[in-house]
Amino acid sequence: MILKDGAACLRNLIHLFRPASSSLTSKGVYEGTKAYRTEDGRILLFRPDLNASRMKIGAERMCMPSPSVDQFVDAVKQIALANKRWVPPPGKGTLYIRPLLIGSGPVLGLGPAPEYTFLAYASPVGNYFKEGSAPLNLYIEEEFVRAAPGGAGGVKAMSNYAPVLKALIRAKSRGFSDVLYLDSVNRKNVEEVSSCNIFVVKGNVISTPATNGTILEGITRRSVIEIARDYGYQVEERVIPVDELINADQVFCTGTAVVVAPVGSITYQNKRVEFKTGSRSVYQELYSTLVGIQTGVIEDKKGWTVEV
């Protein structure tokens, strides 16, 4: 009788503590986009179809099924509409939307998860960096790397962001805004910042590291490249040695969260190099045009915005 009851209790305990997910099968890719309020009260999204396509690419790399482009865009529209009252007034911030695709299941082995969940949530946000619109101070990291060839650095996977925290926390404790990472093979070519892409300006030429599998194809990056070419700048996507970066006229970062942010200085091997910033800087011209389109101030002739 005791053995029978004991067996029953054991079965109940096994059922009770059956894992909902596994560290070996759990995985996730995610996106970041924003909803903008216009001066006349409309709510606009910015190129959500590109976020959808990027999630599909990331999901395929991580062996995950993914929502269709239409399903993704519809989800973003719904979360923006449901949180319409939380979209800040023009110039006061945006509604940041986080679409998320995660795998889970009670499996301990290494392999694709048995089930997947696609969801989206949102929060009103202001400036990403505590400096606000002030120039950023970056630190070039030489010990840690963000991604390696053949890995998943080119997709927006959860696994790409946790590893940068150690270097980021250390840099911020020293007074820097963020960390700029070098390539993992030679440790001498610029890749990207923890959460954004980087651009280098020299004369009329704007250069940015090519997205070769270790660098995320940012949607803001892509948009800024198009705008810059419209203004007559020569834009190059290529390998950028850190020595070339140090000798640049101007440097700026791009990303959904950071938008277009000027870099005031970069510290490399204990040497601080400062760059031109201010109202006549290239970044300001690109920032004004990009934000103007996103917020409806400038006519969207490219079909980038979607009204909710």
Active site residues: 156
Count of C-beta atoms within a 10 Å radius of residue 277: 19
If 0-12 CB within 10 Å is exposed, 13-18 middle and 19+ buried, where does residue 4 land? Answer: exposed
Angle 69-82/48-61 helices, nearest 10 degrees?
120
Q: Looking at residue 178, what DSSP letter applies?
A: E
If 0-12 CB within 10 Å is exposed, 13-18 middle and 19+ buried, where does residue 127 land? Answer: middle
Q: Per-residue b/e over 278-296, b at no fewer than 16 CB within 10 Å?
A: eeebbbbbbbebbbebbbb
Structure tokens given for 30: 């995610």
Place of tokens 């998860």: 113
Secondary structure (3-state) at 307: strand
The whole-angstrom distance between residue 53's C-alpha and the CA centroid of its chain comes to 14
Angle 48-61/219-230 helices, nearest 10 degrees?
130
Q: Alpha-carbon Rg of the chain, whole angstroms?
A: 22
d(CA 255, CA 250): 17
Q: Looking at residue 86, what DSSP letter applies?
A: G
d(CA 168, CA 179): 6
d(CA 183, CA 153): 11
